[in-house]
Structure 1
């Protein structure tokens, strides 16, 4: 295992009209638990079902219906906590968060404010390396993970005279992952969400689909004068820093960056004009490129939290937690480190290949017994390029691991050249087949017969005496003879063999 060390990034400084400012960002990530049933009912969590078709009596808040905890959702929360190196609380409890909204039929949300199932953890967020190759990473502390119910979905665009509510999502289990205010730029914020989503996908606890809202973020943004954060961070006393505003329900990394940048500038302009930032919840309007006020920011007491009378405290055994820990998969950082050590990959290549669990598994299968760097080049440049161009996933790839491995083997044995391999890749992508068979059927075999290649080289040298003299005076020009010899053999001569023969015939030590 490689020892990968990182330096902390310097905080991003934003220059205002009067002062220099720094961003302070904390995030609340709502990750939908990967489960077939909801948190307190057996109703399906299927996406795309007919409106209000996946609703149990307890989800609809029918009188007398009592919630029953879904053990698998608890297991998924514990697994997520272990993946974030967090403390697992063996005793936790559910509370009622009281507020009224049409998509919340109970009039309250069952959540965990006072006693969450997961305590403090951490996420190492790697950023783009500096020009000198120094690795930069921010360690973001996770304050807690708690389980809670999702609300329904209000629909306002079907009829201008009324609104509709779909309760299919009501009661679906969410993990709310709350970070400390450790994030210092919009770039770090999106990198944090990306890394957290990657970890959850590796664990299989959330599919991370932001487009469907299965993973979304509430971003708390504030600004402070340059240097003030470090003054108070050591004591965790952030009360002296700027008032924060929450940007609600961000489910796009691009819009998240835009929203944070706009909100920071908005707050700086207010403060430099002598005003005060009011704590509030805001929404981002991507069409206008700005945040707008949604409502004043509520405090915990505004929701009248109290212990849920329908659910006993949740108690789990350490032995059960240990059993879950024993089945944990290899996580992204460990896999990246191993790929670099076992396959000789660069930091960049390892990052690209481990970004997704499917791509990492595909690469590792192909790379077994083969050159890791060559395999990485084919997977990243050719396979990724073709998949992206055609909008396909790994599961839809026409090129299997066995087929790509076969192409790489033909290159390694010298049977085909790099150019032939590209053509062979295209043929197999379109028509399938065994690489060796397809190559033979299409005459894709390098000429390795020394006699045939030597005859072609001799003929070209004899026909070009002036070029011979130039090459002997400037060995770099000998490449012309190599190109002519390969051309004379229909592009099938092994380049390394041609180069050696040309150098020998011209009396050159090397080309």
Structure 2
């Protein structure tokens, strides 16, 4: 068992509650639309407004989403679960209660496994697994609106009744790095299986972090819940600030009070919003308007048969079939599209490790810089495979390959291909057009090597005296004389042979 990570002598304990908005066309208990961005209160029907005499009707697709999540996380899917009324009073909650699940949730247990990036260069990422307590179905509340109302508040009930899965973890995380890595992996899973669009800015994926600190070996400390974290960057900042604040409070002799807090990105601080309620404060009781939710084994198995290959399974397959390191495989399965792009390039080129390096390197760098998804990549997987093939067969060097890649990304490939009158690929046409072919004439290269050796007697003498830098200098001179077209491996071999 590894020692706990300590901050100023304290162990950090973090658990998560994530509200995942489900991708259904209508709300969980009504037929009103869930589309984002409509005029306030134009997508709230009589059920959402809690008008007298209205009754909720369960949305089958929301249940289907819950089954998919349970299968993806290795959870138990309850054959019978019940809905409860969670009582609290807030302006954007018309009924005065929220329909949720309490005693028997639809999804029980499960886990999320992921890698935590190392903060030290050269150190391998750490594998981590977080256990889940449950995931339960519930309806979202409306939204209070304050902007532009000049001292008043408005209520927008378009979001009221939107279906949510609240995913609750055990307090298994021990740092903000682990917490963010967990949230990113969960975000990847729910978008991968198509139950959530993952748009954090629109509130589709909202995280609450329960943070406490304790001395190693002591009971769990008092937790404070940071609500509605809607970006991974803010999540890390908020948790780090809360950890420092709690430690300072304890060191100054103050007790931590259980509370719900908000993070202010402008100040970088958390501030208390209200004292934290316990389950007794919500006065849960079974909702008399909704029968128990019953899920047949046949429905579960039909859903299982329709599930896509999950990211962890795809990553394991990439390790087994292509010999990739686990970290590469995990990075390449950030989305189904990225996994498919890599696999197409790997199969077409026959060089999976080179394909992995290019996708994680140049491709990802361009996607991040231009803030686009891999579906919009300006170099296709087929073009990347052709480029890798030309590196592998010695046609071009790595440096030349980067020039070709740059040209392809900038749209020069079509022009070069047209210039080649259809002969060869765009990659080959660009190599020809830019004169990037490596020198394959052994006789011509031997002549250059001999000339460089004759012109640099000092470097030759230093190499023979055991100084490796002198050899590198000779390689550089050969590459310069060949205008970068010599094959570096061939240059090394010829120099070593000539120098004995």
Alignment of 1:287-298 (within 5 A): 287-298=266-277
Residue in structure 2 matched with residue 3 of structure 1 by the alignment: none
Distance 1:23 1:500, change over 3 A: closer
Contact 2:452 2:474 (8 Å CA) reproduced: yes
Please say if 1:453 is aligned against 2:445: yes
Please say if 1:487 is aligned against 2:480: yes
CA deviation after TM superposition for structure 1 residue 27, in Å: 1.9
Please say if 1:105 is aligned against 2:94: yes
Residue in structure 2 matched with residue 233 of structure 1 by the alignment: none
Distance 1:273 1:389, change over 3 A: closer
CA deviation after TM superposition for structure 1 residue 268, in Å: 4.1
Contact 2:125 2:327 (8 Å CA) reproduced: no
Deviations 1:192-243 (A, max 9, x none): 22222222222222233222221112222233332124xxxxxxxxxxx433
SS of match in other structure, 1:428: helix
CA deviation after TM superposition for structure 1 residue 102, in Å: 2.1
Out of 81-90 and 220-229, give the one that drifted further. 220-229
Of 265, 273, 284, 1:305 maps to: 284
Of 428, 444, 462, 2:408 maps to: 428
Distance 1:321 1:479, change over 3 A: same
SS of match in other structure, 1:320: helix
Residue in structure 2 matched with residue 232 of structure 1 by the alignment: none
SS of match in other structure, 2:158: coil
Contact 2:13 2:173 (8 Å CA) reproduced: yes
Separation (CA, whole Å) in 2 of partners of 1:500 and 1:403: 31
CA deviation after TM superposition for structure 1 residue 416, in Å: 1.5
Deviations 1:376-399 (A, max 9, x none): 221122111122222222122111
Distance 1:269 1:455, change over 3 A: closer
Deviations 1:114-143 (A, max 9, x none): 221111222234334697967644432211
SS of match in other structure, 2:76: coil
Please say if 1:49 is aligned against 2:38: yes
Residue in structure 1 matched with residue 423 of structure 2 by the alignment: none
Distance 1:180 1:367, change over 3 A: same
Deviations 1:261-297 (A, max 9, x none): 4334444444455544332222222333332221222
CA deviation after TM superposition for structure 1 residue 478, in Å: 4.5
SS of match in other structure, 2:494: helix
CA deviation after TM superposition for structure 1 residue 85, in Å: 1.1
Separation (CA, whole Å) in 1 of partners of 2:374 and 2:366: 11
> RMSD of the TM alignment (CA)?
2.7
Deviations 1:78-134 (A, max 9, x none): 111121111100111212222222222233211111221111222234334697967
TM-score relative to the length of structure 2? 0.88
Distance 1:137 1:467, change over 3 A: closer
How many residues align structurally? 485
Distance 1:9 1:361, change over 3 A: farther
Deviations 1:6-63 (A, max 9, x none): xx65323343xxxx43333322111111223221233332223333333333223333
Residue in structure 1 matched with residue 67 of structure 2 by the alignment: 78
TM-score relative to the length of structure 1? 0.86
Distance 1:175 1:488, change over 3 A: same
Residue in structure 1 matched with residue 421 of structure 2 by the alignment: none
Of 349, 357, 373, 1:393 maps to: 373
Distance 1:162 1:383, change over 3 A: same
Contact 1:448 1:497 (8 Å CA) reproduced: no
SS of match in other structure, 2:318: helix
Separation (CA, whole Å) in 2 of partners of 1:261 and 1:460: 58
Residue in structure 2 matched with residue 376 of structure 1 by the alignment: 356
Task: Give unpaired runs (5+ residues) of structure 1.
Answer: 1-7, 230-240
Residue in structure 2 matched with residue 236 of structure 1 by the alignment: none
Distance 1:457 1:137, change over 3 A: closer
